[in-house]
Amino acid sequence: MKVPEQPRQFNLWINGNSTASASGRYITRISPAHDCPVTLVAEGAAEDVDRAVVAAKESFDSGVWASISGAERSAVLYAVADRLIERKDELALLETLESGKPLSQAGFEVEWAAGLWKHAAALCRHLYGESCNTLGAGTVSMTLREPIGVVGLITPWNFPLLIASQKAPYALAAGCSAVIKPSELTSATTLVLAEVLKECDLPDGVFNVVTGYGSPVGQALCEHKDIEMISFTGSTNVGKAIAATAACNLKKVCLELGGKNPMIVMDDADLESVVDAARLGAFFNMGECCNASSRILVQEGIADRFVEQLTTFAEGLKVGEPMEEDSKLGAIINEAQEQKILGYVQAGREAGATVCMGGGKVETEKGCFLEVTILDHVPSDSSVATEEVFGPVLSIVRFKTLDEAIAIANRTDFGLSSGIFTNDYNQAMKAARQLRAGTVWVNTWLEGHPELSFGGYKQSGLGRELGSRAVEEYTEEKSVLFSLGKRQPWW
């Protein structure tokens, strides 16, 4: 695979068709790894959102998707999963060109995304209500799970297809119609996904894509009176703004936001396993990951040995051309993010942290590439240890006791993921119970399965994605009560 000579052009996707935006303008995506245009994406506006919502609402009200059986919906979603794998190379290349991530990683993410469509397909046939037969001889009741309606899905730039696949198939499994707004930096794979859904016989209007900037497209989605729910993945600040906007007409919101995830390393841990997990957790996807283990809390007795082994291991990570198979880290998404990351490294230095390796740019002819960076002796209250860096920067904080480690781990506004490495199950269980996070890993990191729910505590979000109840997020519960025989008079 190679960088194309001409950028690929995409329009909006509304009512089952590729269509130009009202403005007629396009956003040019410059590859962060190659400094050349790779895609042209239609620049949507509020009136384009209106068109998409009208199409989605008409499809929902018609019952063409919402009223068919779970088995029929399941067949479509399974077909989508298979088609994603068939188009894997195309999708992976587009993700690499737009995001800068290694091509091999992008290919793996397509496979992971396909697995989510299969999981959602299975759940299509397992959406249940309840019945109650204990209300007296003259009464019986039941509850129904019904699709909430038209949903707005807003996805970020770091895992474009994967995060779209954490939302869209579950909304569709419930019977909803959707309008999705991908990041303007990485829109291509979502538009290919729309093509795939059409190929797999999803009715027109059920899945619509409006590309463009957060304002006006994302804002219009959040404000639209016919959008019943917003599911958003992105920064905590934007999530707060979406929640405030949605409150104006009481939309339901599901928010998967930022994280500052602590990995606790006890002195009895298997260091070889920890070092490998720490390297993956901190530097996977260039650290542009809400689940990154961007701060590692290490017990003092093994801290020096751990830092030495981790630094040696991290030196073997190749940063460079994402199209090359041996590149483990690709380019940073854009120059603004690159400067933000470097600012956090400088703040760490000023707070007294020791730079064990990295800390600067990788000098290349093209692209935004940063060195793998490890900071030691990081003060637990410094900005680099408490705020989301979203880059290949690992902060090491030393502690004496597990109680101290748990206190440090919980001393942030975030609560997305966390973990502990220890061979003492008492310590593991204590941490699992006391860490204030939606996920706790024990002797592993970044291990995920569609069967497990995902979401955060505190300012890491609201609601849950994935898991056995993922489809329920996109439903309303209705109580239905039957009176049997002659009704008793009021008095």
pLDDT tens readout for residues 354-368: 999 999 999 999 999
Assigned domain for 450 exists? no
For residues 112 and 201, membership in a common domain is answered with yes
Q: What is the CATH number of the domain that holds 30?
A: 3.40.605.10
For residues 286 and 332, membership in a common domain is answered with yes
For residues 51 and 179, membership in a common domain is answered with yes
| Token pair 């419930």: residue | 174
For residues 45 and 58, membership in a common domain is answered with yes
Assigned domain for 127 exists? yes
Q: Which stretches in the chain have pLDDT values below 70?
A: none
DSSP 8-state assignment for residue 284: G
Residues 275-332 have pLDDT tens digits of 999 999 999 999 999 999 999 999 999 999 999 999 999 999 999 999 999 999 999 9
Catalytic residue among 256, 288, 371, 465: 256
For residues 160 and 95, membership in a common domain is answered with yes
For residues 18 and 99, membership in a common domain is answered with yes
- Say which residues have a Cβ less than 8 Å from residue 438's Cβ, sequence separation at least 6: 415, 416, 417, 453, 454, 455, 456, 457, 460, 461, 464
For residues 16 and 118, membership in a common domain is answered with yes
The whole model's pTM is what? 0.96
For residues 139 and 272, membership in a common domain is answered with no
For residues 156 and 275, membership in a common domain is answered with no
For residues 290 and 211, membership in a common domain is answered with no
CA 271 – CA 296 distance, rounded (Å): 13
For residues 170 and 119, membership in a common domain is answered with yes
Per-residue model confidence (pLDDT) at position 340: 97
Assigned domain for 455 exists? no
Assigned domain for 161 exists? yes
The domain total for the chain is 2
Catalytic residue among 290, 356, 388, 465: 290
Q: Is there a contact between 70 and 175 (Cβ–Cβ < 8 Å)?
A: no
Please state the three-class secondary structure of 26-66 as a single string: EEEEECCCCCCEEEEEECCCHHHHHHHHHHHHHHHHHCCCC
Per-residue model confidence (pLDDT) at position 459: 97
For 43-174, list the strands marked E by DSSP.
Answer: 131-132, 139-147, 150-154
| Catalytic residue status for 256 | yes
For residues 208 and 278, membership in a common domain is answered with no
Least Cα distance to 303 among 272, 266, 273 occurs for: 266
| Token pair 């542009």: residue | 288
- Say which residues have a Cβ less than 8 Å from residue 34's Cβ, sequence separation at least 6: 3, 97, 366, 367
CA 104 – CA 89 distance, rounded (Å): 10
Assigned domain for 453 exists? no
- Domain containing 323: what range? 262-442
Assigned domain for 352 exists? yes
